[in-house]
A and B are shown apart, each in its own frame.
Chain A
């Protein structure tokens, strides 16, 4: 087999197994000029596009394309979330020991401090649910990435918070942190929108960490002439986590498309109960899952746009408020796939696949 034929055969794997692959190979080889060694870019795009469409069966049908696109979008979201979650395991943990002490000393020099992580692992869940509980009922609404809060003992520093903010920004810059602008915080008068200037908030970043510092005089029992202050350490999303998420999105979308195609082709002929069950289950599953996927993508887009730490994972809604919908959606997807598996495959496709398998085994035999 020529090199060109091998490359065409590889591209033709975009098509479902069967007679069509060998038929197309014949046509492509006939149409290729003798000087051609590789498929052209136009041919490649054309074969991938029509091959992926052919995977869905039902030629000329538009509904199946819409359904497959929405399922691919939803599966892409699940893939992106799973890959991002897995990649976060590779991100270095929060600094401890001298590294943490260096940060504490930079923010609160010559003050005793405490540094407390709010979670033992990657995430914080106020309900502290174990794996079994999470699988049954999801996470608490406060589910978010774990942080480390550094605070002076006993939380209050003497002096003016404005002056302290300016000198702290200077110390952080000197220590190699990139310091963002400080915003005024305090109670807001609703009628005028005016903010009562009682505090500051600013974020500094360095080595994949974000340090958010909030001095304020608003806290109850703040002694006169003092202010309350905390510094919260978060981790920024590393580039490889984003890349893993993108790869997970593409993989999930591809799996969603191929599964839809498989189910669609199996239920293509006749109006059988299996066909109706598969279609209705898939549509209801989408009603439950698609909004979560779209909201998740919106959150992801916002997080990628902002320079700060992610705060909450972009799939948070699916593990908190949307958990029940997700569970039911997963059950409905399983029902759709079981119904498709139970459907009788069109006789023509079965015979084509059998013939193609027999041909391959015959070609391989000595």
Chain B
């Protein structure tokens, strides 16, 4: 069974799921997708990108020069998409389990126990 992903990893892969993005693009997308709950620091982002690249979950899409500045775009690999899919399924299963438990509690509130 795969290890649960760390939150920044999950959001970076999620941000790259639809299209390749560069560093700042990933930060913006993660902030938007997480509804402001996760704001990646640049150092944290690139450490995660290095690690994910080494693990084969993402790869370099292209290099661009914008206003004289280097910009590198990253894209999800098939392996990365599969890992994200597995993690999403795990989180969904967890959420379903928690939902079922809460539903049971609402229907049948038992006596309080210590």
Interface residues of A (CB under 8 A from B): 19-20, 22-31, 42-43, 46-47, 49-51, 53-54, 58-60
Do the beta carbons of B71 and A23 come within 8 Å of each other? yes
A59: B residues at CB distance < 8 A: 47, 50-51, 53-54
Residue B41 is within 8 A (CB to CB) of chain A in the complex: yes
Give 9 new A-B contacts, CB below 8 A, not counting A22-B70, A27-B27, A46-B44. Answer: A20-B46, A26-B22, A26-B71, A43-B43, A47-B42, A50-B44, A50-B47, A54-B47, A60-B54
Q: Chain A's nearest CB lies how many Å from the CB of B24?
A: 4
13 contacts between A and B (CB under 8 A): A22-B70, A23-B71, A24-B42, A24-B46, A26-B24, A42-B41, A46-B42, A46-B44, A49-B43, A50-B46, A50-B47, A53-B47, A59-B53
Residue interface bits B37-61, CB-to-A below 8 A is 1, else 0: 0000111111100110111000000
- Identify which of residues 7-53 in chain B touch chain A, using a CB-to-CB cut-off of 8 Å: 22-24, 27, 41-47, 50-51, 53
Number of A-B contacts defined by CB within 8 Å:
66
How far is it, in angstroms, between the C-alpha of A28 and the C-alpha of B70 when the chains are bound?
12
A23: B residues at CB distance < 8 A: 23, 46, 70-72
- The majority secondary structure among interface residues of chain B is helix
Do the beta carbons of B41 and A46 come within 8 Å of each other? yes
Q: Chain A's nearest CB lies how many Å from the CB of B59?
A: 13
How far is it, in angstroms, between the C-alpha of A275 and the C-alpha of B43 when the chains are bound?
28
A22: B residues at CB distance < 8 A: 69-70
How far is it, in angstroms, between the C-alpha of A43 and the C-alpha of B43 when the chains are bound?
8
B53: A residues at CB distance < 8 A: 59
The 7 closest A-B pairs by CB, nearest first: A27-B23, A50-B43, A59-B50, A30-B24, A46-B43, A60-B51, A22-B70
B47: A residues at CB distance < 8 A: 50, 53-54, 59
How far is it, in angstroms, between the C-alpha of A22 and the C-alpha of B64 when the chains are bound?
12
Do the beta carbons of A26 and B44 come within 8 Å of each other? no
B70: A residues at CB distance < 8 A: 19, 22-23, 26
Which residue from chain B places its CB closest to the CB of A48 in the assembled complex? B43
A31: B residues at CB distance < 8 A: 24, 27, 42
How far is it, in angstroms, between the C-alpha of A288 and the C-alpha of B44 when the chains are bound?
35
Do the beta carbons of B23 and A24 come within 8 Å of each other? yes
Given the interface pairs A23-B23, A23-B70, A50-B47, the reply to whether A28 lies near B54 with Cβ below 8 Å is: no
B43: A residues at CB distance < 8 A: 24, 43, 46-47, 49-51
A27: B residues at CB distance < 8 A: 22-24, 27, 42, 45-46
How far is it, in angstroms, between the C-alpha of A59 and the C-alpha of B55 when the chains are bound?
9
Q: Chain A's nearest CB lies how many Å from the CB of B9?
A: 10
